[in-house]
Structure 1
C-alpha cells in the first residue's frame, strides 16, 4: 500500500517534523489549511462566493486553539469571499458565534428536519449536556413579575430558539445586588446575557440606590409600565374600589371554583 499526495512538514528547532509525527489536532489544522488552499487554486475569481464545509472541527483541539482557528476562518471568509459552515457539538465553540450564524438542525420522530435560525448556544446544546446554562437570565422582583414577563416572552415568540430563565429575587434592592454579584464573580459565564426588569413604581428609588452605593454596570435595566401588582390591586380593590375589575375577578374566582 502506497501513500499518494503531499506530505506536510513544519520547522521546529532547526528540524523538520513530518505530518506523520504530528498530533491529531495538528493534522486537522493541516487538513483545513490544505482544503482552503486547494479551493483557492481551483477558483477562477475570488469575486465569486465559495462554500466550505468542515465537519466537527473541535476534535482533538485545545479550546484556545479552537478559538484561534475560528478567528482564522472568519478572517479567511472575509479575505477570500468564503461562506464557511462547520458542524460542532462544542458549546465552547458556538458560544463565540453570534446567534444569527448558528443553524440548529432539529430532527423529529417522523424523520423530518427543521432548521432553526437564529439560534442561541444553550438552546442548541440543551440535549447534549445535563445543563449547559441559559442564553438569557432576567432578574425580576417577585413571582408575579416573573409570570408577566414569561407570558410576554411566550406570546411574542421569544422562547423558540433560546433558553431563558426569569428569576424572582424579592425586592428591587435584592435584584440590584444580585446583578452586581453575578457580574463581579462571572457567576453565569459568558454565554448568558443578564438583564433586570423592575416594577415601574421603584424607578426613582432604584436610581437613588445605585447612585448612593456607587453601583455601575452594563446590565440592561428596564421597568414594567405599571407599578407592582400588589400595590395596583390594593389601590384598585381596597383603597379606591374599581367595581368593574372587582366584579370581573370575583366572577373568575367563582368559575374557577
Structure 2
C-alpha cells in the first residue's frame, strides 16, 4: 500500500508532497534543518486518523483560504481536507475508513505525544495493577526484555512483567517478589518509557508508526542500538517506522534507502524530500571546519586511491585538506554547487570535485568548473577489465555470478581487498594501484599532478 500526502499552503509551506510505501516494512529517517517542514508533515500524517491534530498541536492562523491536505491511498478514493472558514482550519466531509485509522500511530514530542497522555491512565489503573501483582496474575514479556537489554546494553530488565487489563497492556518492574514492590512504566526513565510504548504500538499491529524527534530521550549508544533493533521488528511484524532526528550518531548507522533529506527547492516553491547519504546530510546540516581545502568525491574506494597518490608523491602539501566521499556523482556536484551559494565549507576556489572517468561529458556537468576526472571509468571496473582480459590471475576467488557488470566489478574488488579470518587480502590496494599505473601511466601521472596542484 502506498500513501501520497500533498500539503498546500500550510504555514510557510507552499507545496509539499511525500509518498510512503507501506509494503517496504522497514525504517525511514527524515532529516532536515529546523523549520523546513518536518513536523508539519508529521502532523499531516496524524491528521488522517485524528482530524483535530492541527487544532490541538499547532499555532492558530497557519491556514488560509488556499490551504489543503490531500491523501491519495492506493486502492481508495482520495481524501481531501480543505479550508473551512467557520473553524478557520482544514476540514473534510469525507468519511475516513476505520481500517486506515487503525493502522497509523504518530508520536509527537512533549507535550503532545500520546505516551505523555498515558500517564494519567496508569495512575488511575494502579489499584488494579497492584491487585494483579498480588495474585501473580502477570506474565514475562521475554521479547521486550530482550529489546531493552539490546538497546541499553544491560540486563536490568529481567524482572519486567506484563499485565493485561481490559485489552490494554501495562508493564512493571517487579523489585521484590515477596513484598510485591514494583515500579510502574510511567516511572521508567523517559527513554525506557518511550521504547516500551513504541513496542506496544508495534505489537498492536500498526502498519505505519511515525515519531517526531526519535532521539529526544535516548543517549547516543541507545540511539544506535535502537535502529538495529527496529529493523528486525519491522521485518518481523510487517510494520514501517518513520522518524525525524538531528542526531549524527543515529544517522551514521542508517543504510542506503533509509535516510532522506528534506529541504526547500531552489525556487523555494516546494519542499522536497529525497534520499541522500549520511555524508551529504552531515555536510549540509553541520558543515566542516578547520580545513583549507576540500575534495568531494563519490565513494571510499576513490578516496583511498587519492590518499595513496598524495602520500606517494612525497610532496608536503601546503594546505590542510579533507577528502569527503558523498555517494554518487550527481550528489557530489550538487553539494559543490550548494557550497558556491552558502559557503558552508569554504569559498569556491577551495573546493574541487573528483569524479569517475565515466562521468566526463555528462550533461549535468555543463558549465560546472573545479572538476577532476579519474583516468579510468572507475577503479572497480578497470580492475575487472584487467581480470577479464586475463591480466589478473589469482587463486582463491569465488565464482562471480552477478548479472550486472558493475556489480560483478564490485564483487571482484571486494574479494580481492577483503581480509579473511586474519589472513591478508588476495591483493592489496597498493598492488591494485600499481596495476592501474602500469595500465595508464600518463593518465595516472596527470591525475596525481592535478591533486597535488590543488593542494599546493
> What TM-score do you get using the length of structure 2 for normalisation?
0.31
Aligned to 1:159: 332
More strand per residue? 2
Aligned to 2:31: none
Instruction: Give the drift of 1:155.
Output: 10
Matches of 2:243 and 2:237 in 1, distance apart?
17
For the residue of structure 2 that corresponds to 1:61, the secondary structure is: coil
1:94 to 251, 260, 272: 251
| 1:1-257 matches, cutoff 5 A | 4-6=120-122, 8-11=170-173, 13-14=175-176, 15-38=181-204, 40=205, 50-108=207-265, 110-117=268-275, 119-131=276-288, 136-137=299-300, 138=303, 139-140=305-306, 141=309, 156-157=329-330, 159=332, 223=436, 226-229=440-443
Instruction: Give the drift of 1:79.
Output: 0.8
Instruction: Give the drift of 1:69.
Output: 1.6
Matches of 1:12 and 1:102 in 2, distance apart?
39
Determine if contact 2:202/2:239 at 8 Å carries over to the other structure: no
Matches of 1:80 and 1:161 in 2, distance apart?
38
Matches of 2:232 and 2:190 in 1, distance apart?
24
Deviation string, structure 1 residues 184-237 (Cα, Å, up to 9, x no partner) = xxxxxxxxxxx989xx9xx99xxxxxxxxx9858869563763234868xxxxx
Distance 1:79 1:111, change over 3 A: same
Unaligned runs of 5+ residues in structure 1 are 44-49, 143-149, 168-194, 205-213, 233-257
Matches of 2:379 and 2:264 in 1, distance apart?
35
Instruction: Give the drift of 1:56.
Output: 1.7
Matches of 1:230 and 1:37 in 2, distance apart?
57
Determine if contact 1:54/1:87 at 8 Å carries over to the other structure: yes
Matches of 2:221 and 2:328 in 1, distance apart?
40
Determine if contact 1:196/1:219 at 8 Å carries over to the other structure: no
Determine if contact 2:262/2:271 at 8 Å carries over to the other structure: yes
Instruction: Give the drift of 1:161.
Output: 7.2
Matches of 1:57 and 1:72 in 2, distance apart?
14
Instruction: Give the drift of 1:126.
Output: 2.3
Give RMSD over aligned pairs: 4.8
More helix per residue? 1
> What TM-score do you get using the length of structure 1 for normalisation?
0.51
Determine if contact 2:262/2:272 at 8 Å carries over to the other structure: yes
For the residue of structure 2 that corresponds to 1:17, the secondary structure is: strand
Distance 1:25 1:101, change over 3 A: same
For the residue of structure 1 that corresponds to 2:229, the secondary structure is: helix
Aligned to 1:147: none
Matches of 1:219 and 1:5 in 2, distance apart?
61
For the residue of structure 2 that corresponds to 1:16, the secondary structure is: strand
Determine if contact 1:107/1:113 at 8 Å carries over to the other structure: yes
Instruction: Give the drift of 1:12.
Output: 5.0
Instruction: Give the drift of 1:81.
Output: 1.0
Instruction: Give the drift of 1:93.
Output: 0.9
Matches of 1:228 and 1:12 in 2, distance apart?
73
Instruction: Give the drift of 1:154.
Output: 11
For the residue of structure 2 that corresponds to 1:59, the secondary structure is: coil
Aligned to 1:176: none
